[in-house]
Structure 1
Amino acid sequence: MTPDTLSLIQSVAGHAEDGRGPAPVHLWNPDNCGEMDLVIRADGVWMHEGSPIGRPQLVRLLATVLRKDPDGYYLVTPVEKLKITVEDVPFRAVRVDREGDDLVFTTDMGERVAAGAEHPVRVETDSATGEPTPYVHVRGDLEARIERSVFYELVEMAALADGRMTVRSGGIDFALGAVT
């Protein structure tokens, strides 16, 4: 990551710092400037040039300018667009709280989203192992994988409906999996 790129990201990422949330990357359409050696591993660790990024503030800063396009993930500013690698999804849902009728997830980046029509919960099941992998929509086309301990909390909150465990949030029932 060049100092110029980092400086540009810092200048446009003020949205998160002043409470307005992530930068409006959906409004920016710069030319693709190539690829950056940045990998978000399946376990949630952000790696730059083969080494973990050790500064959580830097990871949060980069997350504010992250966007998923049909052909992959990018860090986007008004004048640059750099492709990065994401092994699964970029974020982790590390906490869930019941707030009234809503389930509110907190990501590893500190973002909070209430599950519902705009932030659905989905569960993929590995056909070979039967292992569930749950996700919650965060913003744009970005999702967070729900950590195992958080998924266990959801299972404890679940009700049975038509042979499936479901949780309700935002007026919507979300299926967690079949009861066997």
Structure 2
Amino acid sequence: MAEAEARPGLEGVIAAAKAAQDAEPKKRGLPPVHLWNPAHSGEIDIVIRRDGAWVHEGAVISREALVRLFSTVLRKDPDGYWLVTPVEKMKIKVEDAPFVAVAVERAGEALRFTTNVGDEVEAGPEHPIRVEVDPESGEPRPYLHVRRGLEALINRPVFYELVEMAEPKPTPDGERYGVTSNGAWFEVGAAQP
């Protein structure tokens, strides 16, 4: 970790994230960013665009492995999104959700989503699906909870797949359509008149 301390900013985040991954090579998990509270903090010019692209100083980060590495040290705090390592945390901007759900499949009783950074998430009580509707356009914006307050915007083709899977359910507000995953029902829309 001393190497990461000597290099602040983007290089330090990369070095510390790699060190955290290398520290437990046999475990295929995520670093415990929720436990890290480094004294040093700042901002870095990284934006996660609405389409899921990660942009550093105006240029898209095209190395998929680097984006995946950064995604493992991403944390959402009450004051925004941070790339967090044991030695520092750097605030970044997120235009909508930090991830995009790019695929869904039915796996038994579960809906399994894959994100643009390779996370696989089964929707259910701990990973709910929610749909916001733009009050002016009526356009749906569906999301899936991925981990610790981080969500994935469900892209349009995947949302259309969910709508195809949806079944009606009577509610006090009329018939609603939704999908079931791991014993939980998630509304995806109202019945069309």
Alignment-mate amino acid for residue 94 of structure 1: V
Match of 1:90 among 98, 108, 127: 98
2:138 corresponds to: 130
> Could you say what secondary structure the match of 1:85 adopts?
strand
Give the C-alpha shift of residue 84 in structure 1: 0.3
> Could you say what secondary structure the match of 2:162 adopts?
helix
**Residues 16 and 22 in structure 1, CA contact (< 8 A), matched pair in contact too:** no
Alignment-mate amino acid for residue 176 of structure 2: R
> Could you say what secondary structure the match of 2:30 adopts?
coil
| TM-score under structure 1 length normalisation | 0.95
CA distance in 2 between partners of 1:15 and 1:148 (Å): 38
CA distance in 2 between partners of 1:152 and 1:15 (Å): 41
Structure 1 position 172 matched with structure 2 position 184 = yes
**Residues 135 and 143 in structure 1, CA contact (< 8 A), matched pair in contact too:** yes
Structure 1 position 119 matched with structure 2 position 127 = yes
1:108 corresponds to: 116
Alignment-mate amino acid for residue 137 of structure 1: H
5+ residue gaps in structure 2? Answer: 1-8
Aligned pair in 2 of structure 1 residues 178, 147: CA closer, same or farther (>3 Å)? same
Q: Deviations over 1:127-161 (max 9, x none)?
A: 00000010000011100000100001001100011
Aligned pair in 2 of structure 1 residues 158, 17: CA closer, same or farther (>3 Å)? farther
**Residues 16 and 64 in structure 1, CA contact (< 8 A), matched pair in contact too:** no
2:4 corresponds to: none
| TM-score under structure 2 length normalisation | 0.89
Alignment-mate amino acid for residue 103 of structure 2: R
Paired residues, what number? Answer: 180
Aligned pair in 2 of structure 1 residues 75, 160: CA closer, same or farther (>3 Å)? same
Structure of larger gyration radius: 2
5+ residue gaps in structure 1? Answer: none
Alignment-mate amino acid for residue 181 of structure 2: S
Structure 1 position 153 matched with structure 2 position 156 = no
Give the C-alpha shift of residue 15 in structure 1: 7.7
Give the C-alpha shift of residue 17 in structure 1: 6.6
Give the C-alpha shift of residue 115 in structure 1: 0.5
CA distance in 1 between partners of 2:74 and 2:51 (Å): 18
Give the C-alpha shift of residue 32 in structure 1: 4.6
CA distance in 2 between partners of 1:20 and 1:45 (Å): 24
Among the aligned pairs, what percent are the same residue? 56
